[in-house]
Amino acid sequence: MEIAFAPSARSTIGIEWELALVDADSGDLRQVAPTVLEAVRPPGAQSHPHVHAELLLNTIEVVSGVATTVREAGADLERTLDELREVIDPLRVELMCAGTHPFARYDYQRVTNKQRYATLIERTQWWGRQMVIYGVHVHVGIEDRRKVLPILRAMLSYFPHLQSLSASSPFWAGRDTGYASNRALLFQQLPTAGLPQVFDEWEQLEGYVRDMTHTGVIDHFNEIRWDIRPAPRLGTLEMRVFDGASNLTEVLALAALTHCLVEHFSTMLDEGHELPRMQPWFLHENKWRSARYGMDAIVILNSAGDEQLVTDSLEDLLRTLEPVAARLGCLEELDGVRTIIRKGASYQRQRRVARRHDGDLDAVVASLVAEMKAGRPL
């Protein structure tokens, strides 16, 4: 099975942001995505180009266009949020984002009426019904198919850094799970989800897809739900590791870090350098550590097994990437990573709010809604 990789301009960027629709009074999830999607649909169009349906009726996805800078992609998202607010305000609905809703019951949520979603739920049953989760996906254009898998392998070395920064799902169905990112471990229960298979050659990826299709595991390439995956139709590498971010500033910080890392590794390949690569058992351990401990994780840095506190490693990484960020025009957005380190990741801020309010998770939802409106961590 041949998988064509679409031509794509180098280091273009696109962002996808899954948002929860919550009741303005109770903070619980509202099943009103069809109403919202219909209301924002331009006259004569089948759908809004930047607002999409998702698995559940409590969710919409906001997407940017193909951009050359993170700031340009962010401006796209901001315009779409403004359009959405005109529609949802009269419905007494707010936008909220975190890896999970702090107290909503998964068994109360309804699935979007599409065959692919019905097939997913029929196959995955209890685990599929628990997917009341939200994420941010960042696409970065890669101009040469030969670069895709080496860059993917190198990005896995920084997987725990990205997951720790975005971790925003400490609560599940009204309880503190003890994890920074409960979403990370929930989502990997789906077939083909979780850390990617690591291949050396594109032909091995084609063989994998052929086998998965032949045995009925998938019908289409996009049913491979890895945390990092090629997107052949778009000509991009897609980072899907991130928990949902509560505000635009954090979305752009995560996007800038991704943008810079991909460009950094692409430049290393141009210069003939070998990219970092780690053993699968270290990758799996890093994913668990960052999901459990978030910004307090001691992460494995390299194939030699050297370790460092993730926040210290991030400071080293930011210094390395600053010249890349200057080239890409995202120095300000990349510096947002330092804001997350200083103010705490979303899971830390949510727990602080819960402690201040004697465990009241209504207050946590209110804080997430407030951050969405403010466009920055509070």
Amino acid identity, position 135 = G
Contacts 24+ apart (CB under 8 A), 363-369: 364/102, 364/171, 365/22, 365/27, 365/96, 365/101, 365/102, 365/103, 366/27, 368/96, 368/97, 368/98, 368/102, 368/246, 369/22, 369/27, 369/94, 369/95, 369/96
Assign 361 a pLDDT band (cuts: 50, 70, 90). very high
pLDDT above 90: residue 117:
no
Q: At what angle do helices 331-343 and 70-88 cross, to 10 degrees?
A: 60
The overall pTM is greater than 0.75: yes
Extract the tokens encoding 342: 């200083």
Q: What is the pLDDT of residue 303?
A: 97
- Residue 130: the pLDDT is 83
Q: Is the pLDDT of residue 119 over 90?
A: no
The pair of structure tokens assigned to 245 is: 């971010």
Report the amino acid identity of residue 176.
Answer: D
Q: Looking at the predicted structure, is the pLDDT value of residue 113 above 90?
A: no
Between CA 23 and CA 369 the distance in angstroms is: 10
Residues in contact with 38: Cβ distance below 8 Å, sequence separation at least 6, in sequence order? none
pLDDT tens, residue by residue, 2-23 = 999 998 999 999 999 999 999 9
pLDDT score of 58 more than 90: yes
How far is 138 from 164, CA to CA, in rounded Å? 16
pLDDT digits (tens, 9 = 90+) for 257-301: 999 999 999 999 999 999 999 999 999 999 999 999 999 999 999
The reported pLDDT for the residue numbered 351 is 98
Cβ atoms of 297 and 165 closer than 8 Å: no
The stretch 68-93 carries a mean pLDDT of 98
Query: The dihedral of CA 347, 353, 354, 356: what is its sign?
Result: positive
Rounded CA separation 22/26 (Å) = 8
The residue assigned the tokens 């897809």 is 209
